[in-house]
Amino acid sequence: MSDSAVVATESEGQRTPPGRHTLKLLVVPIVALIVISNVGDALAPKLVESNPLLLIAMNARNRNLILVTNQLDAVSYYAVATARLLLSDPLFFLIGYWYGDIALTWMEQRTKSYGSMLRHWERWFHKAAYPLVFIAPNNVICLFAGAAGMSVPAFFITNISGTIARLYLIRRLGEAFERPIDDVLDFIARYRLPLLAVSISFFAVMMVRELRRSGEDLDALEDAIDEAPADDGP
């Protein structure tokens, strides 16, 4: 049985979309994580040297993971990075799971730079759902997984195992390129103050724009949900 057949079977008759109050419980943590990520990026020139564990706790993007992997013991690296990477995934999964095509349309409008590609990616997702969640469990893929009705256990097993595999590969990459990474860290340490000033200025602007945009997007998604049948339960 294909991935798409399995996902479709598991989605039938099992979902009752909640209303806007439940939506806020999902979106507010997402916005908080965006703010934390932007602050982490803004302070990266300082944290990468002074507190690498805090850096990946705030923003575990690939470049940060590569830069700090050789500074951290394996337990700290895997525990903190895994937890940080997994925090937002269930939130996007539940948005997709409960709000289906409404959520996909919202994401398509929210990411105008590549929104036209999302429907194309959606078709690919139905052909290879579990491999995509394993290889690239980003926000869009997690949203697709929920909208497609992937079972919760299957999503978590695939997502967690894929995240750990990704961290393992980054760890090995860090070992293989330790010398060039050290050179980058030396450069950051040498020009830390100007880099920090530029970084804080840039990400402050980005964060203000993101917060304003998140509020507008939440309003748009709430309006779309209000136009569809919704049930918050007792």
Structure-block tokens of residue 20: 């806007």
Nearest to 135 by CA among 120, 146, 125: 125
Could you tell me if residue 233 is inside a domain?
no
The answer, as to whether pTM is greater than 0.85, is: no
Nearest to 6 by CA among 105, 177, 127: 127
User: Residue 122: its pLDDT value, please?
Assistant: 73
Please, which pLDDT band fits residue 14 given cuts at 50, 70 and 90?
low
Please, which pLDDT band fits residue 194 given cuts at 50, 70 and 90?
very high
Could you tell me if residue 10 is inside a domain?
no
Could you tell me if residue 12 is inside a domain?
no
Look at residue 66 and tell me whether its pLDDT is greater than 60. yes
pLDDT digits (tens, 9 = 90+) for 67-119: 999 999 999 999 999 999 999 999 999 988 888 877 777 777 666 555 566 76
When divided into structural domains, the chain yields a total of 1
Could you tell me if residue 115 is inside a domain?
yes
Q: What is the mean pLDDT of the chain?
A: 82
In this prediction, residues 197-221 reach a mean pLDDT of 73
pLDDT digits (tens, 9 = 90+) for 20-62: 677 888 888 988 998 899 899 999 999 999 999 999 999 999 9
Could you tell me if residue 58 is inside a domain?
yes
In this prediction, residues 193-207 reach a mean pLDDT of 85
**Residues above pLDDT 70, as percent of the chain:** 76
Q: How far apart are CA 39 and CA 33, in angstroms?
A: 10
Could you tell me if residue 103 is inside a domain?
yes
Which segments of 43-147 does DSSP mark as H helices, in order?
44-50, 52-58, 62-68, 74-86, 89-110, 115-127, 129-135, 139-147
User: Residue 117: its pLDDT value, please?
Assistant: 67
Structural domain that includes position 99: 18-225
Residues 6+ apart with CB under 8 A from 23: 95, 99, 218, 221, 222, 225
Could you tell me if residue 42 is inside a domain?
yes
Could you tell me if residue 209 is inside a domain?
yes
Q: Which residue has better confidence, 221 or 162?
A: 162
